[in-house]
Structures are given as structure tokens and as C-alpha cells.
Amino acid sequence: MGVSHEDLYAIRTKAPGPAGSLPLTHDLLMNAPSGELFGLSQNVGMGWSPARLSGKQYLILSTQGGIRREDGTPVALGYHTGHWEVGLLMQAAALEISGMGGVPFAGFVSDPCDGRSQGTAGMFDSLPYRNDAAIVFRRLIRSLPTRRGVIGVATCDKGLPAMMLALAAMHDLPCIIVPGGVTLPPEHGEDAGKIQTIGARYASGEMTLEEAAELGCRACATPGGGCQFLGTAATAQVVAEAMGMSVPHSALAPSGQAVWEEAARQSARAVAAMEAGGLRMRDILTDGAIRNAMVVHAAFGGSTNLLLHIPAIAHAAGLRVPDVHDWAAVNRQVPRLVSVLPNGPEYHPTVRAFLAGGVPEVMLHLRRLGLLDESVLTVTGQTLGSVLDWWEASERRQKVREQLTRLDGVNPDDVIMSPDAAKRRGVTSTVTFPTGNIAPEGAVVKSTSIDPSVLDADGVYRHRGQAKVFTTERAAITAIKTGGIQAGDIMVLIGRGPSGTGMEETYQLTSALKHLPFGKYVSLITDARFSGVSTGACFGHVGPEALAGGPIGRLRTGDLIDIVVDTRRLEGTIHFVGSAEHPLSPEEGALLLAAREPHPDMRPDAQLPADTRLWAALQSVSGGTWKGSVYDVERIIMALEAGKKSLGW
């Protein structure tokens, strides 16, 4: 709506200012910093009543994106549904704080969408964004020195881990996470994971143009929340609650609904109680809380991207950083209990996991197995054991589980299973960490999601075949779409780790293989990473990365590769073993790889931003991806000082 010509130039140069007076005292004027006093002037300048300035101040941070009208319709779109509605959570928390006599503040650092940037140069900024956003969140927290506590509202793949990193580093503040929940699946159609394969399926004649257009229109059936599968967004919500950083039964709530919004009000009350009781983040985040998160991650069958984020959260909290041996031990010990997209065996959307009881329901099973540290404190101010006691007998548990049966005709015990039921269904533990002469530092595969039909009677995946080596994701997806990949091939994508692309996420490859009829007979090996919804015989995080001298960067098309993954014992190997004409032992293969030059076509992507190159260098000095791709300031400074000395600076 425009304005009249006269109104356009009806300009004022003075205003009367807010009525009333600031609640100043002799002590404040004598001792308070000038910034604190000026802050009061700005508060009333923004419309806050001078009579309500004396309450405790709380900061609400979020990843909100886009501009919505009051009725929810868009003025400007956000990057994704995950940050589209979280302003409603902020509003609910803020009103609760002000209703208690407090003074709420709000700040925003919006986040990108990994789904939107798949297969584009935008993916080169995805993982580096996490560290950058965490830095900005921390700076925003410190830039409001009068805050007494922080509420972090976030939903998706990088924004929520960034928020968790930021709050984990606030050792002496009460902080809490409000997860942004999930979007609903369409009544008739495909979920947001499968819909990302329409290009590959259309190219292979699996669907028509009309089917792709219609299904694509319906996939995000509601406007807010993370995707409907247990990808990185959903897994990060689960992990936040498992660490005790969120109120009970808040992860995976349906976005925009009353039960979702109430969690924000509960969180506001909880952070105020934490402040009053002297409970701080150092009390919540302990080594026991980190291990609980790893245990729950395994029980859910969560995204492999949390292997990057949980160590980073531990680092930010000043705790012991779990390594690959810790992950392997947890996954061997902990049964997978949750049946959701993308792992199965039944492909329930994540909202059903919420209605089946969510994180606390899974934890009930885990505590009966003695796998949890129940002594850890949560943001409720109570121990985990006390929270689980409440949940087991709660009306909320009974009602949500009844709703699942009533609304969808689903037995909640078929979504979150007992260990015995999971065993009867043949559900296997989540991930395996193979090593070998291609991956001497290790790799990761979500072994629970390898198609059962390609396993032998003992649950072992074996694939011995010739490599087809690609140095760009574009070339790899083109090969899949145009018949260049066939059953029995082993795809190798190199130079796509931190130094090449910022460790891009290659979901368009893994999803295409999942939804094409021959895909279960193809393996993929890469130094890149995968989406949390990825499945199949896909081996990522190969270390060392190719551009850091890793032997994966010396492979050539036609090389013979031998893969073995025991999905029950969670053991595996990935070896280069010569060629079909001249097979070698793994030891001989290692020597031959070491003598080779790197692949001649391998180089950092031409579109790699300078910002991401800097991130790659800093995280490499700090221990690399297996340490969580963090910034270890002491190690970085040591490396810089050593470099300056070596260069004579």
C-alpha cells in the first residue's frame, strides 16, 4: 500500500519522547556502567513501560527467517519451514517472561537449508555456517551484559547445533533450548526426503512430469518445522533433550500446534527457575549428559551428522570430547528402538515418534537396560531419573500415546519398541565405523539402513567391485541419471571434504541410489558427508580427506575395492585390493596407494568461498572432522606462532 504525496513529506524532526521516568537510584547512578543506564533509555524508547523496567532480563535467541503477516501468510519467504514459525515460540516465551515480571529481549541469526542447497555451491557454506553462527550467538549473548538467562529457539540441521554450541559455552548462565518441532507429512503423497529424488526418478523413467509436479507441491504439508524424517534436524532436537538442555517431551512436536507452543512457555518458566535456583549450564552439561546423548542417538538411529555436532558441543562445554572408539562402543551396546523414516523397518514420520512418547519414552527402555546416567541434572532442575519417574506415570504420556492410535491407527509400541520387540523385528544398531587402507582414520556408514536383501544370513554386507571415481558431485549425479552407474559399481567421490567443498552434504546421490531399483547394489565412498536421511551402503567422513593427502585421493576408475560390513557386530573394512587382473592383499594395496600420485583431476572446487577455506584450515588445525570441526583456539594460536617463527615473521 502506498502513501499520498502529502504524507510522504510530512516529516517530523522532534518527538515528545516516552512519558514517565526511569527507575533510577543513587546507587545505580553512582556505580552502574553508562551502558546499563543508556540501555534503560533505549528500552523505553522501544516502547517498554518505565514502570516495568526493574524485572530480570532474559534473552531469547532464534534462527527465525522470513517475514509473516499476523495471519501467517508470507510477506517474504524464509529459507525453509524450520525457521518460518519459530517466531511464535519466541512470542510465547516472551509473553511468559513479561507475565512473570521479567524483561524479554530477542535476537536472530537465521539459518540456511541443506535441502535447498543440495547439489549447489550453497552447500559449501553449510557446515562452516555452524561455527560462524555459534560465534555470533555467543557475541549476542555477551553483548547484553544484563541478561540473567538465555532461551535458544532453533529447529534445523545447522541452526540448532549452532545454538547448542553457543549455549554450551555459556558455562555460568542458565540456558535452555526450545526445539522448533516438525512439519507434517501430506495425507496423500511423499515425505520431504523422498521428494528430493524426483529429478533422478524422472530421468530414470520412474515417474512422469505431472507426478513430480503434483507430489512436489504437497510434500511440506504444514508451513513450519523440520522435515518429517529422522534427519539431522530431528536428531539434533532429540539430542538436545537427551542432554537435558530442553524440557521433557519437547523434541519433534508438530510445529504450530498448541502442544508445541506450550513448550516455549514451559521453557520460559524453567529458565527463570534455573536462575532463581543458581542452576547453570555447567551443571547441566557433564560427561554423563554427553554420553546419554550418544546412547539416545544410537537408540533412535539418528543422523551421522551428529558425529560432527556432539563432539563440538562437548568441546564448547569444556568436557571430554568423544572419539570414534566411544561411538563404536556405544553403538555396539545400545539397541535401536525407534522405527521411523528413513531407517524403518516401518517408515513412520517423526510426529508419530513424538506421539509414541518421544525422547522420554525411549529413555524409559534405556534405563531398564542400565544404559543411562540418571543422576544428571536437566533444565527442569530435577535429575533425569526423577524426570523419567514423572513421565512413566504422567497423564501426558497416556494421552499422546492414545492420540497416535486414535488418529493414525498406529500402536505406539510399534514406533518406539521394547528391546525384545526390536530384536524380534530384526532391528540392528545404528552405525558402523569401518577402517582400511582407503580410510586409515576411519569412515562412517549408517549400517542399520543397508537394504536387508543385500546382506548375507549373518547380517554381513560384502561388495567387491570396480571403482568409478568422480571429483565433482555434479559428474556423479549426472552418471546416475544417464546410465553411467549400474548395479555392482562402487562410486568414489573424492576431494569433497572440508578442504575441497567445506565437506558438502551429498544427499542427492544417496537419495537417488535409495529410490532407484538398482541402487541397493551400488556402494558409495566419499570424504564428504551425508544428509541425516541418507541410507544404504554409503560410506562418508573418510579420513584423512583426499586433499589432505588421504589415500582415497589416489584411487582411479577401475581399481578393485573390497568392502565388508558386519551390521550385527558393527565392524567393517574398506580396502583397495589392486585390480581384477592383478588382485592384491590390503597390505600390498596400501603400499601401491602410497606410491601413487594424487588423482590428476582433484582440486578444491573453483567456487569454494574464501570464508570456507579459512574454516577448513582452522578446523583442520583443531583436530578435523573426527574432533567435530571445531575451533580449538589454543591449538590454532600454537600453529600460528609456530608458523610465524618458521617464516621469520
- Gap between the Cα atoms of 100 and 638, Å rounded: 48
Measured CA to CA, the distance from residue 106 to residue 104 in angstroms comes to 7
pLDDT for the residue 516: 84
Q: Where does residue 280 rank: exposed (0-12), middle (13-18), buried (19+ CB within 10 A)?
A: middle
The CATH T-level fold of domain 431-595 is Glucose Oxidase; domain 1 (3.50.30)
CA atoms within 13 A on the CB side of 79: 20
Query: Which pLDDT value is given to residue 533?
Result: 65
Are the beta carbons of 509 and 524 closer than 8 angstroms?
A: yes
pLDDT for res 201 = 87
Query: What pLDDT is stored for residue 488 in this prediction?
Result: 95
- Report, as ranges of residue numbers, the positions in the chain whose pLDDT lies below 70: 1, 532-533
Angle at 179 between CA 173 and CA 183, to 5 degrees: 170
pLDDT score at 517: 86
Q: Which residue has the cell 555447567?
A: 282
C-alpha separations of 266 from 29, 278, 614, 634 in Å: 36, 18, 40, 38
* pLDDT at residue number 532: 62
Give the pairing type, strands 175-179 and 560-566: unpaired
Catalytic residue list: 531
Coil vs helix vs strand at 573? strand
> In which order are the strands placed within the sheet that holds 57-62?
103-108, 57-62, 147-154, 175-179
Q: Which residues of 196-214 are buried (b: 16+ CB within 10 A; e: fewer)?
A: bbbbbbbbbeebeeeebee
Q: For 142-174, how does the pLDDT look when each residue is reduced to its tens digit (9 = 90+)?
A: 999 999 999 999 999 999 999 999 999 999 999
Do residues 530 and 538 make contact, with C-beta atoms less than 8 angstroms apart?
Answer: yes
The pLDDT score that the predictor gives to residue 555 is: 98
Q: Which of 149, 139, 163 is nearest to 64 (CA)?
A: 163
pLDDT of residue 571: 94
Beta bridge partners of 463: 563
Which DSSP category does 482 fall into? T
Q: Rounded distance, CA 97 to CA 320, Å?
A: 35
- Whether the pTM exceeds 0.85: the reply is yes
CA 212 – CA 218 distance, rounded (Å): 10
In whole angstroms, what is the distance from residue 28 CA to residue 34 CA? 10
Q: Among the residues of 59-146, which ranges form H helices?
A: 86-99, 114-117, 126-142
